[in-house]
Amino acid sequence: MNNEIEVVRTFNRDYTRLLGVLDEGLLDSPYSLTEARLLFELSGGGDLATLGLRESLGLDPGYLSRLLARLEADGLVVRSRSGADLRRQLVRLTPRGREVFAGLDTRSAAQVEGLLEGLPADRRHRLVRAMDAVRRILAGAPAAPFDLRPLRPGDLGWVVWRHGVFYAEERGWDATYEALVARVAAGYGEHHDPARENAWIAEIDGEPVGSVFCVRADRPGDVAQLRLLLVEPQARGLGLGQRLVDECLAFARAAGYREMVLWTVAGLAASRHLYVKAGFELESEQAEERFGDAITAQWWRLRL
């Protein structure tokens, strides 16, 4: 936790410095960040109640009153009492206030454009997605919906990389597991039969967060194999694993397979839950030394 706290604090320091938030005036103006935010809240037009401003910005009543007094002295806002309730104070922008806000808004957009245009497209997209994720998580917004799509160039490399990293972190497996995944991915890329084999990548906001492959099993008869199922930790709890398994099973049935098998290891509780729920039954298991670990290898089977 201490390390995570320091990462957040470092981000805050770097980002506020980058945007010039610590300067005496925001965007070379005589106004602070908070005053500029007040102008933004009022920019929609019409009168706003000071109570609503306090609640939306989380400001102390006295502090808000001092801020509004300064903006009013500069001719940017005007305050009045509500005709329906004299206890309610209303605030609106003056024509001068709208002019000042428009200038700040234009300069702010240009500043951000300058930050983004210097980045390659892939890094720019990653940055925007990451910032949106930060906003959604801290706001308690519901998780973004996921999408499934076929493989695109570069996806096989992502599958190998993420499996290697994930199982090294989660299980302590060595590079021989990543090498195994690389062989499976390479074999699929070079020799797969589109009519009877398929693979899917799951995405959230354009970012890969999962995978699954349906391939012909190395067994006699019409037997398919589910391989390379992965769900990133940040995408768990969305039903993504179940959707990947269901998509694989639906394809196998449509392709004419009679059975589906999969190979896994004991101890992967989340995966086991998915397989049992889909109807797979444990076919065999045995202790092995693989991937720098003592594992219990398992074969599971499902009649389609």
Q: Supply the CATH number for residue 112's domain.
A: 1.10.10.10
Q: Are residues 92 and 48 in the same domain?
A: yes
E strands, 57-197, where? 77-81, 89-93, 146-150
Exposure class string for 72-95: b at 16+ Cβ within 10 A, else e: eeeebbeeeeeeeeeeebbbebbe
In a domain, 123, yes or no: no
In a domain, 141, yes or no: no
The answer to whether 71 and 111 are in contact (CB under 8 A) is no
Domain that includes residue 110, residue range: 2-118
Tokens describing residue 259: 């059975």
Q: Are residues 102 and 151 in the same domain?
A: no
pTM, 2 dp: 0.61
| Number of domains the chain is built from | 2
> What is the chain's pLDDT, residue by residue, as a tens digit (304 residues)?
778 899 889 988 888 888 777 777 888 889 888 999 899 889 887 788 888 888 888 889 899 999 999 999 999 999 998 877 777 889 999 999 999 999 999 999 998 898 899 888 878 877 887 888 788 778 876 666 888 999 999 999 999 999 999 999 999 999 999 999 999 999 999 999 999 999 999 998 788 999 999 999 999 989 999 999 999 988 888 889 999 999 999 999 999 999 999 999 999 888 999 999 999 999 999 999 999 999 999 999 999 9
Cα gap 35→26, rounded to integer Å: 9
In a domain, 295, yes or no: yes
In a domain, 153, yes or no: yes
User: CATH no. for residue 194?
Assistant: 3.40.630.30
Give the sign of the dihedral formed by CA 54, CA 23, CA 97, CA 131.
Answer: negative
In a domain, 31, yes or no: yes
